[in-house]
């Protein structure tokens, strides 16, 4: 038995060129202290040798149900697993898994596993879009597996499009989420259009300087990652970020200033079923932006005159009230609070919820190393239904999944 923190993870590797990227995923899980067993298909070994997988996992590698017969490995490995990650999941492997084939050690293991299973497809766009693959993916999701949307970009050869293996860090974060989730991740946001803002804004002073903030964008990117894995069509409008990841299957729009963010959110709001304002928006911007670099001079620092930025969240709520965006659009805000002599974090959060008029507000304690830039987050979720739910300290991806859970009673599905 492994300890509660040390999980047993099977990494199944399919026969695709992206197999080499999975080495970084294996390394992530072993460095986190987990017990990792690698089960490649025979085809995968054309791309990465068994020696690499054995060295990275510390366990012998086999592709066949006829090795270690006395240990009944084809049954035991799946039964004992806490998580199975299959990457790259080729079109052939998805097909075999969807139809319940058991013609090698990996597919036999998939049939015996009762833990969360994450498929990470990688293939050419035509194969990904083929109705056979679409059906196989739907079947696997129906069976309870999580199938990560592939990234778009350069494929093998000269092709480019959907079908690229997501970055190893993204696979690892989703794998971590499945280890943390008490049950398998629901595929409950299929077709729901989710518009998310993330990261910090930069308010320019001159061509080289700006006023900014410490936001890393991790919470907003985690929402995008979890929402996409749960089936949502995600648009992520991102300001400045740090180490926030590259969620796959998500439309990414880069912005810099609060005004740019306001323009993008306003333009896209009418197309969204859910809007989540996770960005750390500057409340003020310099009135004047110098065309040339401001020189130090001899007179000492000149004061910076500021003007107020639009309150994007409040503006979106008002736009909904005026009928400019759908009355059923769910609007979610964040409150970054330190607490002060006038009240604690939650009290400030309640006051902000009343002021902003959104449907859900995530209240985060910030400052003193909390929330900004960290991998973990905590707080409260306030809902227009009057509930206040404590969000225990967890990874930002798990917290994101809890926030998405709270959408269900608010979503009006047509």
Question: Residue 223, interface with ligand CTP (CB under 6 A)?
Answer: no
Question: Residue 335, interface with ligand CTP (CB under 6 A)?
Answer: yes
Complex with ligand CTP: residue 279 or 399, whichever CB lies closer: 279
Q: CA 373 to CA 190: how far, in whole Å?
A: 30
Question: Residue 313, interface with ligand CTP (CB under 6 A)?
Answer: yes
Complex with ligand CTP: residue 123 or 279, whichever CB lies closer: 279
Neighbouring C-beta atoms of residue 341, cutoff 10 Å: 4
Question: What three-state secondary structure class fits 230?
Answer: coil
Neighbouring-strand partners of residue 152: 162
Complex with ligand CTP: residue 119 or 372, whichever CB lies closer: 372
Closest CA to 174 of 196, 145, 134: 145
**Torsion from C-alpha of 102, 106, 110, 113, nearest 10 degrees:** 120
Question: Residue 307, interface with ligand CTP (CB under 6 A)?
Answer: no
Q: CA 234 to CA 250: how far, in whole Å?
A: 5
From residue 262 to residue 291, the character string flagging contacts with ligand CTP as x (rule: CB under 6 A) and all else as - is ---------------x-x-x-x--------
Contacts 24+ apart (CB under 8 A), 316-319: 316/265, 316/266, 316/269, 316/275, 316/277, 317/356, 317/357, 317/358, 318/357, 319/266, 319/269
Stretch that binds ligand CTP, among 32-40, 49-57, 304-312, 390-398 (CB under 6 A): 304-312
Complex with ligand CTP: residue 70 or 341, whichever CB lies closer: 341
Interface positions, 1-20, toward ligand CTP (CB under 6 A): none
Complex with ligand CTP: residue 26 or 404, whichever CB lies closer: 404
From residue 65 to residue 104, the character string flagging contacts with ligand CTP as x (rule: CB under 6 A) and all else as - is ----------------------------------------
Pick the binder of ligand CTP from 80, 206, 263, 311 (CB under 6 A): 311
Complex with ligand CTP: residue 92 or 311, whichever CB lies closer: 311
Question: Residue 309, interface with ligand CTP (CB under 6 A)?
Answer: yes
Stretch that binds ligand CTP, among 44-52, 64-72, 91-99, 327-335 (CB under 6 A): 327-335
For residue 69, what are the contacts with CB-CB under 8 A and spacing of at least 6? none
Q: CA 277 to CA 279: how far, in whole Å?
A: 6
Strands across the sheet with 193-198, in order?
A: 250-254, 233-238, 193-198, 274-277, 330-337, 360-365, 376-383, 388-395
Count of residues that bind ligand CTP according to CB under 6 A:
13
When computed from its CA atoms, the radius of gyration of the chain, rounded to whole angstroms, is 24
Residue 304 DSSP symbol:
P
User: In Å, how far are 220, 280, 361, 366 from 277, measured between CA atoms?
Assistant: 8, 8, 10, 16
CB of 266 to ligand CTP, least distance (A): 11
Question: Residue 334, interface with ligand CTP (CB under 6 A)?
Answer: yes
Q: Residue 392: what are its φ and ψ, rounded to 5°?
A: -65, 155
Pick the binder of ligand CTP from 94, 120, 196, 312 (CB under 6 A): 312
Complex with ligand CTP: residue 109 or 197, whichever CB lies closer: 197
Pick the binder of ligand CTP from 86, 236, 244, 336 (CB under 6 A): 336
Residue 19 DSSP symbol:
G
CB of 193 to ligand CTP, least distance (A): 19
Question: What three-state secondary structure class fits 333?
Answer: strand
Question: Residue 62, interface with ligand CTP (CB under 6 A)?
Answer: no
Q: Which one is catalytic: 46, 136, 213, 364?
A: 213
Pick the binder of ligand CTP from 217, 249, 333, 365 (CB under 6 A): 333
For this structure, is 213 an active site residue? yes
Question: Residue 317, interface with ligand CTP (CB under 6 A)?
Answer: no
Site residues (CB under 6 A) for ligand CTP?
A: 258, 277, 279, 281, 283, 309, 311-313, 333-336
Provide the annotated active-site residues: 213
């Amino acid at each position: 038995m492994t300890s509660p923190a040390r999980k047993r993870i099977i990494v199944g590797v399919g026969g695709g060129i992206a197999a080499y990227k999975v080495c970084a995923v294996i390394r992530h899980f072993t460095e986190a202290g987990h017990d990792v067993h690698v089960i490649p298909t025979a085809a995968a070994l054309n791309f990465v040798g068994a020696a690499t997988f054995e060295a990275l996992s510390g366990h012998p590698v086999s592709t066949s149900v006829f090795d270690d017969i006395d240990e009944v490995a084809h049954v035991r490995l799946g039964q004992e697993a806490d998580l199975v990650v299959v990457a790259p999941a080729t079109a052939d492997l998805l097909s075999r898994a969807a139809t319940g084939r058991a013609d090698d050690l990996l597919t036999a293991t998939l049939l015996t596993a009762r833990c969360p299973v994450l498929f990470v497809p990688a293939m050419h766009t035509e194969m990904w879009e083929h109705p056979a693959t679409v059906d196989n993916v739907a079947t696997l999701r129906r069976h309870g597996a999580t199938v990560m949307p592939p990234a778009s970009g350069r494929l093998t050869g000269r092709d480019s499009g959907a079908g690229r293996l997501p970055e190893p860090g993204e696979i690892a974060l989703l794998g971590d989420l499945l280890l943390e989730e008490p049950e398998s991740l629901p595929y409950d946001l299929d077709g729901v259009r989710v518009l998310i803002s993330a990261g910090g804004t930069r308010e320019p002073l001159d061509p080289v300087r700006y006023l900014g903030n410490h936001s890393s964008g991790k919470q907003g990117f985690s929402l995008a990652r979890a929402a996409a894995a749960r089936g949502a069509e995600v648009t992520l409008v991102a300001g400045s970020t740090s180490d926030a990841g590259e969620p796959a299957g998500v439309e990414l729009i880069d912005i810099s200033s609060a005004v740019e963010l306001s323009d993008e959110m306003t333009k896209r709001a009418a197309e969204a079923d859910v809007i989540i304002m996770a960005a750390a928006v500057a409340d003020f911007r310099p009135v004047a932006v110098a065309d040339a670099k401001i020189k130090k001079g001899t007179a000492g620092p000149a004061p910076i005159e500021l003007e107020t930025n639009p309150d994007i969240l409040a503006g979106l709520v008002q736009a909904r009230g005026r009928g400019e965006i759908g009355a059923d659009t769910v609007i979610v805000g964040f409150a970054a609070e330190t607490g002060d002599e006038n009240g604690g974090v939650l009290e400030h959060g309640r006051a902000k919820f009343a002021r902003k008029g959104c449907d859900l507000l995530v209240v985060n304690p910030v400052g003193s190393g909390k929330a900004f830039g960290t991998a973990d987050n905590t707080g409260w979720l306030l809902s227009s239904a009057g509930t206040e739910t404590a969000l225990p300290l967890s990874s930002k991806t798990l917290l994101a999944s809890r926030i998405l859970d709270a959408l269900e009673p608010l979503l009006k599905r047509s």
